[in-house]
Amino acid sequence: MSNPTQPTAIYQHPFQRHKTREVKVGGVVIGGNNPIVVQSMTTPDTHFIEETVEQIHRLEEAGCELVRVTVPKAEDAHALTAIKNRIGIPLICDIHFDYKMALAALDHPIDKIRINPGNIGGMDRFRQVVRKAKDKGIPMRIGVNAGSLEREFAMKYGFPCPPAMVDSALKYIEIAESEGYHDIIVSLKSSDVMTVVEAYRIYARQADYPTHIGVTEAGKPPYAVTKSACGLAPILLDGIGDTIRISLLGDPVPEIAAAFDILQATGRRVRKPELIACPTCGRLEIDLEKIIAELEERLAGNKLAIKISVLGCIVNGPGEAREADLGIAAGKGKGVVFKRGEIVRHVLEKDMVDALMEEMAIWEKEEAEKGTLQFGAPTIRADVHNDVPVPVEDTNRIRLPMLN
């Protein structure tokens, strides 16, 4: 056992954000220290304006911050101005194979264009799109996809592997830069989780343009959400990613909640209280499901970045409750409330929710007075070069004994 009289060291998670430049998409800034932006894509044919706008409005209500529409045909390009005039979030156009559709889309008040350069038929066509995007002041996502990687790179490596995908992206970045164009966002997508993780890690060591992250063609929920979380959590915890889409089969609206949940769980964008509850087991001595359901109802819409733990037994409860900002360790119909690791009151089961809400109000006031109150702030920053730890002054961090 450690000697309590020994000096202590502050434990700090070694997370830091991949340092990227900023790219403005409409009124939203991607990259730098800005929050990771959640986006989605519409499902109707874009020229069906009413259906497209109605779906975008539902996405907006769910919290979507950027929206992408597909533009494979001239009638889709012609609909862009009408759509843009009726929505409140930046509009992105997705180009499939025809570079002429990219040029047509750029004649409308769009906010970004997404293009897979390997699909549009050569460098000259790519340069034409780059030049027009530059003239219009419109940013571009260079979207490399393992399933449509150019033959040149697939042949070089033998198959569409992560290094091949990164090589492809870097090639097109260099071409864009040769045209004096730098408003670039990059994606390296695959339906294979390990390919996604490795590709973004390799890219982050070689370039500083912001990244759009996602596992493409993830499939049908709930498995698709789990698969996306498995592919994106490792790179998010590496500090990689500036905008995110969770690709789900069907209605895109559930993509938004899934994206925010993944960002919250990885600490990349906390925008609501986090409720921690123990699993239902034979040690449970309170009606935990009822308590959590009532807390969720009363916290709906609250964006305070706070961890609230409700533990229903005496085995792990006290220790885990101490680790949260607020916590209850309970058993046999009563419990103790912890705040910042210290016991502040005893409560009966029937009073637990009210007690937590009261203590949360006090906690919020105290944090505001200290200037440390957060509402949805990103928790991993890019304040320094990627090989240097980020210094953070925080007296509430975990302290570990120094070892001899």
CATH number of the domain encompassing residue 79: 3.20.20.20
For 102-113, what is each residue's pLDDT tens digit? 999 999 999 999
Q: For residues 278-292, give the mean pLDDT.
A: 78
Residue 401 lies in a domain: no
Amino acid at 191: S
27-49 mean pLDDT: 96
Instruction: Report pLDDT for 106.
Output: 97
Indicate if 44 and 187 belong to the same structural domain: yes
Which residue range is the domain that position 170 belongs to? 23-265
Q: How confident is the model at residue 282 (pLDDT cuts 50, 70, 90)?
A: low
Distance CA 239, CA 277 (A): 27
Separation of alpha carbons 230 and 100, rounded Å:
37
Same domain, 59 and 181: yes
Instruction: Let me know if residue 225 belongs to a domain.
Output: yes
Q: What is the predicted pLDDT for the residue at 14?
A: 65
Q: Is residue 14 part of a domain?
A: no
194 and 278 assigned to the same domain: no
| Whether residue 244 sits in one domain with residue 96 | yes
Task: Answer yes or no: is pLDDT of 260 > 80.
Answer: yes
How do residues 157-206 score in pLDDT, each as one tens digit? 878 899 999 999 999 999 999 999 999 999 999 999 999 999 999 999 99
pLDDT tens profile 298-345: 998 888 888 888 887 666 666 667 778 888 888 788 888 988 888 899
Do both 61 and 146 map to the same domain?
Answer: yes
Instruction: Please give the pLDDT value at position 316.
Output: 63
Please check whether residue 295 is in contact with residue 277, taking contact to mean a CB–CB distance below 8 angstroms. Answer: no
Residue 361 dihedral angles phi and psi, to the nearest 5°: -65, -40
Considering the domain architecture, whether residues 258 and 322 belong to the same structural domain is answered as: no
We report the CATH number of the domain holding residue 347 as: 3.30.413.10
The reply to whether 232 and 305 lie within a common domain is no
> Residues 319, 361: one domain?
yes
Kindly report the three-state secondary structure assignment for every residue of 244-304.
Answer: ECCCCCCCCHHHHHHHHHHHHHCCCCCCCCEEEECCCCCCCCCCHHHHHHHHHHHHCCCCE
Q: Which two tokens stand for residue 266?
A: 């990885």
Q: How many domains does the chain divide into?
A: 2
pTM: 0.83
Amino acid 315: pLDDT: 61
Query: Would you tell me the crossing angle of helices 352-370 and 288-299 to the nearest 10 degrees?
Result: 40
CA distance 41 to 94: 9
Statement to judge: residues 306 and 258 lie in one domain:
no
For residues 308 and 212, state if they share a domain. no
84-93, 154-163, 259-268: the lowest-pLDDT one:
154-163
pLDDT surpasses 70 at 350: yes
